[in-house]
Structure 1
């Protein structure tokens, strides 16, 4: 039975991935920002275990994990959680920048660092769910795109560093996906949200599982998936 640690399992892509892995009998460790969120996740995914820590405060994750009992081995660490706040560079405050970079870049780096021993023990797999914004930046997307460009760099460096330990690293770049985050983006853009125009979260989950399920000795490094049409 494979052991997976997943952030962002409360909704959208993270929830779709968690459900697919649970359905095939894998062991889930779901990350919640606080005890209340952890209880919600445990209720939603019976049999799953939870870990608690606020990704907005990556400097406290070591302390948080040190007061819990994480798994002894981790077959995959799936970084799905993220935040977005659109705005022009001239309007974005340091608080927005700091929160975006903390949640989208620094927290994944720190959580990976903390779980590297377990990943090495399992010759495991780290998956970063990035974004098309991690490949190109558009107007009003500076903070989010910067965090995702950084996430790409983190993945590339980690892959080079951990290859000798047998740890695989994959970055997935989804295009627009019908999730609560996408609904928020549409509100910020002042556009009507029509979920049927975009990919389903389950489509992205299929992409992620494809990377996870490759036989040993092979690795998907970067994978983009876009809405058709």
Structure 2
């Protein structure tokens, strides 16, 4: 049984990842801005269909085994303030070993460059990039101790920037660079970047409203589908790493 920290755990993709890891029997550290939403998610994961049932095993030829109650902890974090993350984490006793960190938090606001003010650029970069870098730095000792895995939930906007997506795309291009550098610097840690296309989340609902288009959930990939791809990367045997994977709606 492993221990995984998830940022943006109350978002669509973050919650789907938490559900899947919980079903595998792993200990979870859920982070997000709102404590009440974190508490609600933790309560949901402790009961019913998402109760722990099996463990991930990355050893070839082995089968997942039954799991007993995995622990679920919550830590409220404000990723708009990356300088304060170290103090926020200091108030919680984090494990000495972390099997994985999943960076699933993100914000997006569409606007042409001519109308994007400095505060909007700073918000995008703080949440989507700088906080991911700072959290990774702070958690590296625990990740090294477990030869852990860092997963960055990026976006297809991190591969191509379209009109009105400049701030979001810039933050995601930077996130890709962070992942590539980390992979080269930390040979004992596996690093994966997942590039989801449009996914049926509340963020996507907001994006469609900003674009002036209706939101239809069936038009997009399900968060659970993205989560399955991500967890499959975590389950890859230790002799390989899924470094980059793109998930687009069909």
Unaligned runs of 5+ in 2: 47-70
Unaligned runs of 5+ in 1: none
Give the aligned partner of residue 196 of structure 1. Answer: 218
Alignment of 1:142-161 (within 5 A): 142-161=166-185
Q: Aligned-residue CA RMSD in angstroms?
A: 1.0
Give the aligned partner of residue 140 of structure 2. Answer: 116
Query: Are the counterparts in 2 of residues 73 and 118 from structure 1 also a CA contact under 8 Å?
Result: yes
Give the aligned partner of residue 223 of structure 1. Answer: 245
Could you list the per-position Cα deviations for residues 97-137 of structure 1 after superposition, in whole angstroms to 9, with x for gaps in the alignment? 00110000000000000000000000000000000000000
Q: Mean alpha-carbon deviation: is it higher for 113-122 or for 37-46?
A: 37-46
Could you list the per-position Cα deviations for residues 23-68 of structure 1 after superposition, in whole angstroms to 9, with x for gaps in the alignment? 1211111012254344333323224111222111000001111111
Alignment of 1:81-160 (within 5 A): 81-160=105-184
CA–CA distance in structure 2, aligned partners of residues 120 and 51 of structure 1 = 21
CA–CA distance in structure 2, aligned partners of residues 145 and 208 of structure 1 = 21
Query: Are the counterparts in 2 of residues 52 and 65 from structure 1 also a CA contact under 8 Å?
Result: no
Tell me, what secondary structure is at the counterpart of 1:216?
A: coil
CA–CA distance in structure 2, aligned partners of residues 175 and 32 of structure 1 = 22
Moved over 2 A (4+): 34-47
Provide the TM-score with structure 2 as the length reference: 0.88
Alignment of 1:19-38 (within 5 A): 19-38=19-38
Query: Are the counterparts in 2 of residues 14 and 80 from structure 1 also a CA contact under 8 Å?
Result: yes
1:75 alignment partner, one of 93, 96, 99: 99
Q: How many residues align?
A: 226
CA–CA distance in structure 2, aligned partners of residues 168 and 10 of structure 1 = 25
Give the aligned partner of residue 8 of structure 2. Answer: 8
Query: Are the counterparts in 2 of residues 175 and 226 from structure 1 also a CA contact under 8 Å?
Result: yes
Query: Are the counterparts in 2 of residues 32 and 41 from structure 1 also a CA contact under 8 Å?
Result: no
Q: Mean alpha-carbon deviation: is it higher for 34-43 or for 99-108?
A: 34-43
Tell me, what secondary structure is at the counterpart of 1:156?
A: helix
For residue 172 of structure 1, report the CA deviation from its aligned partner. Answer: 0.4
Tell me, what secondary structure is at the counterpart of 2:113?
A: coil
CA–CA distance in structure 1, aligned partners of residues 45 and 138 of structure 2 = 24
Query: Are the counterparts in 2 of residues 51 and 70 from structure 1 also a CA contact under 8 Å?
Result: no
